[in-house]
Amino acid sequence: MKGTIYFFLFIIILSCSTFKTQISDDLNFVVRLDTLKLYDKEREREIPIAIYQLKSSKRQKKQRVVIFSHGYGQNKGSDYLAYSYLTAFLASKELFVVSIQHELSTDSLLPLKGNPQIVRRPFWERGVDNIHFVINKLKETNPELDFNHITLIGHSNGGDMTALFPQKYPNMIDKIITLDNRRMAFPKSNKPKIYSLRSSDQPADQGVLPTEKEIKKLEMTIIKLSNTTHNEMDNNANDEQRKEIQKYILKFLKD
């Protein structure tokens, strides 16, 4: 009983944040941010999440789901909130957006030496398991959502998790969108649909990006942003960069 009471108090305390996100020159939509901590008993792991949605007293039915995974943040613990220009924007478009905090202060730091595709693979797999757990938890708590059209979005290290997910859990995801993932190769399949925005400054490792022949055959969309660097894809992006990223991702989601 004490655990249940604490859980609801925790949500009440953390579910009172609202802010405005501008999505056009003359319209502002109020987006609600709810943060809470899930717990995976099997892995004995805490999973903080942030839920972005339009402020409303009613649950909307058949909302499409977007799961966002942040770039590497050296275990600071707040990186799941560092992309609000995008997560709040997508929520303003009536999408149900969940941003996952993949790194905890007690985790080992991401290896910076050795073959990244080998030494970082366990970190990506942990992120994949986090995403899978969150999706299954949402199915329990929010069955009204549209789980036939789930989109994963991830930046950098979170993009590597995103690219790995459909290889471990095929046929569960409708689309993946990566922001400059550089280490994990995309799956070679028609499902999920694959989209990626590339930075102007940091190339991907060999074999990560598909060939022109593969892009055409699998109907992938790969776009290079000529004026946005790798580290300008989070809230460090300026207004022009934010609008360009928002525009492309919204287009991918509507495709």
Whether 1 shows a pLDDT value over 50: the answer reads no
Contact 175, 136 (CB under 8 A): no
Least confident span in 19-28, 94-103, 114-123, 242-251: 19-28
Contact 157, 110 (CB under 8 A): yes
Phi first, then psi, for residue 13 (nearest 5°) are -65, -40
What distance in Å separates the CA atoms of residue 134 and residue 88, rounded to the nearest whole number?
19
Least confident span in 8-12, 13-17, 41-45, 191-195: 8-12
pLDDT band at 30 (very low <50, low <70, confident <90, very high): confident
pLDDT band at 60 (very low <50, low <70, confident <90, very high): confident
Whether 24 shows a pLDDT value over 90: the answer reads no
pLDDT band at 156 (very low <50, low <70, confident <90, very high): very high
**What is the overall mean pLDDT for the chain?**
89
Percent of the chain with pLDDT over 70: 88
C-alpha torsion 85→96→25→228, nearest 10: 30
For the stretch 201-255, pLDDT in tens is 999 999 999 999 999 999 999 999 999 999 999 999 999 999 999 999 999 999 9
Whether 21 shows a pLDDT value over 70: the answer reads no
Question: Token pair for residue 126?
Answer: 């942990």
CA distances from 223 to 109, 179, 204, 244, 252 (A): 30, 10, 13, 11, 11
Phi first, then psi, for residue 150 (nearest 5°) are -90, 130
Contact 183, 120 (CB under 8 A): yes
What sign results for the dihedral spanned by CA atoms 206, 210, 214, 218? Answer: positive
pLDDT band at 61 (very low <50, low <70, confident <90, very high): confident
For domain 2-254, say whether CATH 3.30.30.10 is its number. no
Over range 167-173, report the average pLDDT.
94
